[in-house]
Amino acid sequence: MLSRTADNLFWIARYMERAETMARLLEVGSRIAMLPSAHGYRNEWDSLLRASGTADGFARKYGDSVQRNIESYLFFDRDNPSSVASCITAARENGRIVRTALTTQVWDALNSAFQELRALEREPRSALELSRLTEWTMRNSALVRGAIDATLLRNGGWDFLNIGYYLERADNTARLMDVKYYVLLPRADFVGSGLDNYQWTTLLRSMSAHRAFHWAYGGEVTAAKIADFLILNRQCPRSLMTCICGVQSHLDRLAADYGRETEAQAQARALRAALEGLTVEEVFDEGLHEFLSRTIRSAADLTSTIHDSYLSGGLR
């Protein structure tokens, strides 16, 4: 497979997953914003901008973090490369470039999402409920992912798409958790409080993982259980462990196809081994924010290695 084609497929997946994450962040913000404010709390919407890595761009364009402006910036604003609109447009453009590598069903799902997005952009902003926008994004993301899983040949292109999905999802799971623990809790004595548990439950709901969590753990919702579920539990489809195992599995398939391994396989195995030897107590001892920041950097390093090994024409 040409590296340029592989690169476009890889980024279709990353853009679609990123669009879904922006929608989930907006849902977290809207739920948390309904809580009564208290002395010492930071602005919840400002927290989302920081976690999504878009705070500087927003501040340059809008200044103060007003909810309506943040919703527009994270969903519609083309000046924000991580907005839902920018990501879906970029995914559809990448799909157009590699149209012959996609099935009709995958292309139709991408193109339909783009056309519906244009229709949404023509509607008055005041007529668009945030819940409608977030549900629309998650539905279209699921349609594209379903078409990929149901219709694409299991060749190198399918592997690059899945590597893109898993890497983006690992990054996003870490960022969503970081919103909760590092930014939203104003003081250490809030840990274990009713507010703390409500925020954790909100996070689970925003990741569509609330019911799955109760199936897996039951009983009381605690920070330790949720951290274990979202970081170490292989049954959780969005956990860091599931994502890293997925990346390694598809990299191993590529190694078999190409007839040799690269540094990417070794790096993915090291990441998986580090997670397998970890307990949630050790994560809290290190500091959840510090652990998540380190994970985000590790995912970025692995992405860079995969790019050098497969997507830039480095593998001959």
Distance CA 27, CA 25 (A): 5
DSSP code, position 236 = S
Quickly list H helices, 63-103.
Answer: 67-75, 84-97
Query: What does the pLDDT profile of the chain (316 residues) look like in tens digits?
Result: 678 899 999 999 999 999 998 998 888 788 777 665 544 445 667 777 877 778 888 989 988 778 888 899 999 999 999 999 999 999 999 999 999 999 999 999 999 999 999 999 999 888 889 999 999 999 999 999 999 999 999 999 999 999 999 999 999 999 888 877 655 555 556 666 677 777 788 788 778 888 899 999 987 888 889 999 999 999 999 999 999 999 999 999 999 999 999 999 999 999 999 999 899 999 989 988 889 999 999 999 999 999 999 988 756 5
Give backbone dihedrals phi and psi of 289, rounded to 5 degrees, phi first: -60, -40
Burial of residue 100, with CB atoms counted within 10 A of its CB: 0-12 exposed, 13-18 middle, 19 or more buried? exposed
Please state, as a whole number, how many other Cβ atoms lie within 10 Å of the Cβ of residue 41. 17
DSSP code, position 38 = -
pTM over 0.85: yes
Give Cβ neighbours of residue 117 (< 8 Å, ≥ 6 apart).
84, 85, 88, 89
Distance CA 43, CA 254 (A): 45
Dmax over CA atoms of the chain, in Å, equals: 60
Handedness of CA 62, 68, 70, 74 (dihedral sign): negative
